[in-house]
Amino acid sequence: MGTKRRWPEGTRQVIPVSEPDLGPAEFAAVTEAILAGQISSVSVDVRIFEERWATYCGRRHGVAVSNGTAALQLAVACLDLKPGDEIIMPTFTIMSCALAAAHCGAIPRLVDANPRSWCMDTGAIRNAIGPRTRAIMPVHIYGHPVDMDPILDVAEQHGLAVIEDAAAAHGAEYRSARGGVETWFRCGSFGSMSCFSFYANKLLTTGEGGMLVTDDDGLAQRARLLRKPGV
């Protein structure tokens, strides 16, 4: 078990959302990485993590980044949107979603949240689609998956990309009925790209850190280029 937080004298204490459980294994792994000089995005450990996390999510590619916000920005950047293009997203989510759109000159097109699930109201998406809509960004809230089937159906009908924000849904599963047979799929396996956060309060943490996962070879290659950064 990890040790309890010790606040420096005179500092303001806050109520933590959660505290990471860090112990000797984590200390040894970090020490080993430092001694080996593996402190960049091209280290062996990072590549192994990318591969294993992508496989866990049922994806072909993983691209590690500095945090979940960076993962969302990278996903939007990969779509090569034009200023004024729109991304549909829920009203109830972290501001990183809207910032990722604005960072690329896109406009967040907000739909309300379902009061029972707190996830985006999938019934409101169709009415939010306009001539400049290019993508939908569903956000799984507190480990509770969005109803993905209607979103994927609408996206296919209108030729829209789907950026799945699974930052708070590590290991969560959604029962999809697409294809006529109900099957459980892990969050992070849906749409064009999926984004994760490994912040300290997440079920799986690297302290900071995030990742984009995708099945698309072209998107993965572009994401790795932009991560460096590229053009």
Specify the CATH number for the domain of residue 80: 3.40.640.10
Average pLDDT by stretches of 10, the chain with 231 residues: 57 66 89 86 87 98 96 97 97 96 96 94 96 98 95 98 97 93 96 96 90 98 87 52
**pLDDT at position 18, please?**
73
Q: Is residue 88 part of a domain?
A: yes
Alpha helices in 58-202 (DSSP H): 68-78, 96-103, 125-128, 148-158
Looking at the annotation, which residues are catalytic? 202
Q: Is residue 150 part of a domain?
A: yes
**pLDDT at position 58, please?**
97
Q: Is residue 39 part of a domain?
A: no
**pLDDT at position 20, please?**
80
Coil, strand or helix: which one is 224? helix
**pLDDT at position 169, please?**
96
Q: From CA 110, how far away is CA 152, in angstroms rounded? A: 18
Contacts of 167 (CB under 8 A, 6+ apart): 68, 71, 94, 139, 140, 195, 196, 197, 202, 210
**pLDDT at position 1, please?**
43
Q: Is residue 154 part of a domain?
A: yes
Q: Is residue 218 part of a domain?
A: yes
Q: Is residue 16 part of a domain?
A: no
Q: Could you give the number of structural domains in the chain?
A: 1
Q: Is residue 24 part of a domain?
A: no
CA atoms within 13 A on the CB side of 82: 3
Q: Is residue 76 part of a domain?
A: yes
Domain that holds residue 174: 44-227
**pLDDT at position 119, please?**
96
